[in-house]
Chain A
């Protein structure tokens, strides 16, 4: 068990290094990126070529790529990473965005997991009947509605007075500042973000359940004379939920890691995702690197957690 963890942790570090390096490389090669573009942006409009050159040298853009990468990583781990455009400390900015992102993710995650399971179970139990078909159509609509569109539409109609102004219009309010406002401000973002996942999880779970129902051990459970409800929960659902856990772990981690860029931006939550969006717009490499590292951390951390949870759920893959 310890050996398994150690191996996974080493792997996780390697993944983080690889991901940040790839992001770094992409930034160097895209048009407008690299030393020329960045130096020009830092030097400002109408800068002379000499000034651009001077900026290049001063910021170290003329040094070899791997040296630049090493310097950047060193800055990252010594908390000296600052934005090219605003000169603000990247970590501070990320930490500022975290409460909003965490609030959004945890609330939406609970909603989409709960309703995903409900939708999946109902449509599996009623497979082929009318309620299953209605749910299927709704789920597909949910999956295919773009988040930014749904976000803008709900914000316009339910917050900005298209139909009502019942919900507050965007922005994040800290939970410690005013719990009630925190809650009311997050309802729409939660629902908008969760809709996509509910449809998707429901479909996956429905398929898993229908597979599990035909398993031999479910037949055995019926032959034992167990009540249908118990068979459903203890034997069918337990097995069908295992793959859902993987999905949830990774989806949750990516939203937590700033992946809900669109939702955060549409509702102007000032979370980590929105910070990432702004940095990308500004071609600002240090924050992009910082957010990437932050996101990669959550992804690898949660994938290790998912593996551990998996071993708990399925005794067959427990390391002996």
Chain B
């Protein structure tokens, strides 16, 4: 068994705001081993980014309250002091973000920003750090890294900036790379390049990856395990193949049905999950997805636990519906009424 890097247990994150207490993350648990890719999938406001930012210690603040634990290599990061946490960020856990256009400081050269990351954690001189920055840029596929290292971010295209961000995040050889919607702001062709790059670097750097996205298609071919989040909670958790071929949660079906798929005949209409995600301030009791679920019934007034209901070990969901019923009916949502192609 590979080394256990990260164990998140019953994590909750609450923010005090003028409108009330926002329960952004509520009882989230997962584990991450070296060499694995964990996908976290959900809509905006589902708590997926807050979960990742909390692992990085980036949500700390006077208005934030945390519960549960985040254990990295045996150390509880929630209990770590701010300066201890600073030693983990970038060094043990690297992170890249959605918009490569705004994620780099426009007034410093790309190389300087990578050098800065290296020097934050390692006692190396500028020249050595710069040499490593060039090497990193080469590894992420920037052509002519010796000269491009002195470019400013605006001289890079969107795809190249995201590559440079990845180089920066990996500069101290972290064990975990967190990618928060790394492809959403990019062209499809560049998305494919970036996903492939992350997958390759995971092996090169012998690390693990947490990939956060709203699009199940993005994680289909690189994730080992997937968490589907809704309203701050994990509503389904399974190995990737199980999640795609035997999804148990109607919300997951809706996410799958929303994707216009090239591999299937074009449906008359896409399935669209009606309404919008619930407020995290006064979330409804019972199953959080109930107001938007076409199969909701009486029992959904009571919140189902996240537990195994199918034969496959490790496949957990929060849904009261009968497993056989779900297997019979889920294609109505996933395929949008179109007949299944062979």
Contact = CB atoms under 8 A, between A and B. Distances in A.
Interface stretch (A38-46, A154-162, A216-224): A216-224
B94 A223 contact: yes
Interface string B154-169: 1000000000010011
Contacts of A219: 58, 97, 103
A316 interface: yes
Contacts of A316: 106-107, 152, 154
Contacts of B90: 223-226
A313 interface: yes
Given A223-B56, A239-B107, A315 B154 contact: yes
Contacts, number: 74
A217 B116 contact: no
A118 B117 CA distance: 28
A102 B58 CA distance: 48
A227 B91 CA distance: 13
A220 B96 CA distance: 8
Nearest to A315: B152
Interface in A225-268: 225-228, 230, 234-235, 238-239
A223 B107 CA distance: 18
A315 B97 contact: no
B102 interface: yes
Interface size class of B (residues with CB under 8 A): 20 to 34
B30 interface: no
B210 to A, nearest CB: 13
Contacts of B267: none
A211 interface: no
Interface string B51-63: 0000010100000
Given A225-B89, A316-B154, A220 B165 contact: yes
A224 B117 contact: yes
A52 to B, nearest CB: 64
A80 to B, nearest CB: 49
B95 A223 contact: yes
B102 A227 contact: no
Contacts of A221: 105, 116
B88 interface: yes
A208 to B, nearest CB: 14
Given A216-B97, A216-B99, A219-B97, A225 B91 contact: yes
Q: Which 9 A-B pairs have the closest CB atoms?
A: A225-B90, A225-B89, A216-B102, A224-B90, A217-B105, A224-B117, A223-B95, A315-B152, A216-B103
Given A315-B107, A316-B152, 7 more contacts: A216-B97, A219-B103, A221-B105, A223-B94, A225-B89, A226-B116, A226-B120
29 contacts: A216-B103, A217-B102, A217-B103, A217-B106, A219-B58, A219-B97, A220-B104, A220-B105, A221-B105, A221-B116, A222-B89, A223-B90, A223-B95, A225-B87, A225-B89, A225-B91, A225-B120, A225-B121, A226-B86, A226-B116, A226-B117, A226-B120, A227-B120, A228-B86, A314-B106, A315-B106, A315-B152, A315-B154, A316-B107
Interface of A: 215-217, 219-228, 230, 234-235, 238-239, 313-316
Interface of B: 56, 58, 82, 86-91, 94-95, 97, 99, 102-108, 116-117, 120-121, 152, 154, 165, 168-169, 172
